[in-house]
Amino acid sequence: MRIKKDPVNKISSILKGEFIANKTNVNLIPFLLMIVLLALINISSSFNAENLLRQSISLEKEIAELRLNYITTKSSLMSMYRRSVIEDLVKDQGLETSLIPANILER
C-alpha cells in the first residue's frame, strides 16, 4: 500500500529545498538553474522595455514642445517680413519706399 503525501508537505519540501537532496532529483538541478536564468533575463528585459518606454514618452513631449516653439517662431518671423513692418524698421535710418518701379536690365 502506498502512503499518500500531503500536498502541504510537498510545498514545504520545495520551499525548504529538501527535494534537491534526493538523489532522484539531482538530475533536475541544471534544468532549475536554466529556469532561474530565464526568469532573470525576463525581468531584465522587462526593466529595459520600461526604460525605453519612459524615454520614448519624454522624447515625444520634447518633440511636441519643439514643434510649438517652431510654430511660434515661424509666425513671428512671418509677421516681421511684412512690408509695413520693414518700412517702420528702416524709417529711423532715413530710408523710404521708392515710388518709382525698378528697371529690369536685360542682356
Q: How far apart are CA 7 and CA 10, in angstroms?
A: 5
26 three-state secondary structure: helix
Domain edges within the chain: 7-93
Mean pLDDT of 42-70: 98
- For 1-33, the pLDDT digits (tens) are 455 556 677 778 777 777 667 767 777 788 889
| 55 HSE (CA, 13 A, CB side) | 6
Helix locations, the chain, DSSP H: 7-16, 18-21, 29-80, 83-90
Which whole-number Å values give the CA distances from 28 to 10, 25, 35, 79, in the listed order? 16, 5, 11, 77
State pTM to two decimals.
Answer: 0.55
Q: Residue 13 is placed in which grid cell?
A: 519540501
Main-chain dihedrals φ then ψ at residue 94, nearest 5 degrees: 85, 15
